[in-house]
Amino acid sequence: MAYPNCSAASPVVDTAMGIMLTLECVLSLTGNAVALWTLFNRLKVWKPYAVYLFNLVVADLLLATCLPLFAAFYLKGKTWKLGHTLCQVLVFLLTFSRGVGVAFLTTVALDRYLRVVHPRLRVNLLSPRAARVISSLIWLLMVALTPQNLLTHKTTQNSTEGPSFYPTREVEASATWQEVLFFLQFLLPFGLISFCNTGIIRTLQRRLRESDKQPRIRRARALVAMVLLLFGLCFLPSVLTRVLEHVFRECESCSVQHVIVQASDIAGGLTCLHGALSPTIYCFSNPAFTYSYRKVLKSLRGRRKTAEPASSNFRDSYS
C-alpha cells in the first residue's frame, strides 16, 4: 500500500531543519578537521585504536560534506532542482557515511573493551597494518549493506522530489531489507557499545582502587555518558519515528501522516548530529585531542596557547 500524499512542506519545520543541518555541518567539519590534524601532527606512534579513530573521522567528514545540499533542500521548501541522479547519490552517500560512522564507533568501543577487560588476548597484539585491513573490510561491508535501491529508485524525470529522511514508499523485498538494516544498524551497535563500556567501568573500578587513580574512572564514566548521550539523542528519535511509521502505515488520515513525515524529517536530521558530537568522544579518549580543541577555542578568543601535554604518544585514557 502506498502512503498517502501528505508530505506537504511545513515552513517552520523546513526552516528549522535547514538551520540545524547547517550548524551540524559547520560543527562537524570544524571538530573533525581539528581531530584529523591532531592524528597526523600530534601522534608519534599509530596504534590500531588510532587507525579506527582516523576512519571514524573520515566517515564523519564525508557525512558533513553531504549536509549543505540537504540544508539547501529544506531551506527552499523541499524543492530539489539539481537533478534526480545527484539526489540519489547524495542520499546514498549520507546513508553510507552514517552507517560507516556507527560501525567505527562500535569498533573503537570493542577495541578498548578487549584491551582493558581482556588484555591477554592475542587479538590485542594486532599491528596497525592489520587494523588498516580491518578498516578496509568495514568500508567494503558497509558498501554492500547500504541499500542499493537508494541509487536505483525511480521517479519521474521532472520530479522536484529530493533527498528526504522519509523511507522508501514501495512495499517490496528490498524495502523490507532496508528496514531490517535500519534497525540493526542502530540497535545492535548501541547494545554492543553499552556492553563494552559497562565491562570497562567494572574492570577499572576493580583495578583502580587508589585515590590518585580515581580521575581515570571518572574520565571513563564521562566517556560512557557521552556515548550513551550520542546514541540516545542522535538515533533513538529516528528509531521511534520509524516504529510509528509502521504502526500507522495503514492509516489514511492525511493529518496523521503529515505529522509523521515532519517527525521523520527532524529525527533523520538528528542522526547526522553524531558527526558533530564525535569530537567530544575524542577529547575523553586522549589528552592530545583535548589540547588541540582547547588551543583552537583559546585562539578564537585571542588568548595565549595552553601548555602542551607532556607526551604525544597515543594511548587512550584507560589503556
pLDDT per position as a tens digit, 88-144: 888 889 989 999 999 998 998 898 889 888 888 888 888 999 999 999 999 999 998
User: How confident is the model at residue 319, as a pLDDT?
Assistant: 47
- Is residue 4 in a domain? no
Q: Which residue has the higher pLDDT, 23 or 125?
A: 23
- Is residue 302 in a domain? no
User: How confident is the model at residue 116, as a pLDDT?
Assistant: 85
User: How confident is the model at residue 216, as a pLDDT?
Assistant: 67
Q: Which domain holds residue 184?
A: 11-288
- Is residue 215 in a domain? yes
Number of domains in the chain: 1
Q: Which three cell numbers stand for residue 91?
A: 542520499
- Is residue 306 in a domain? no
- Is residue 186 in a domain? yes
Kindly report the CATH number assigned to the domain that includes residue 233.
1.20.1070.10
Contacts of 236 (CB under 8 A, 6+ apart): none
Q: Mean pLDDT, to the nearest integer, of 183-203?
A: 85
Range scoring the smallest mean pLDDT among 4-13, 33-42, 151-160, 270-279: 151-160
- Is residue 236 in a domain? yes
pLDDT per position as a tens digit, 216-272: 677 777 777 777 888 888 888 888 888 888 787 777 777 777 888 888 888 888 988
- Is residue 312 in a domain? no
- Is residue 5 in a domain? no
User: How confident is the model at residue 203, as a pLDDT?
Assistant: 84
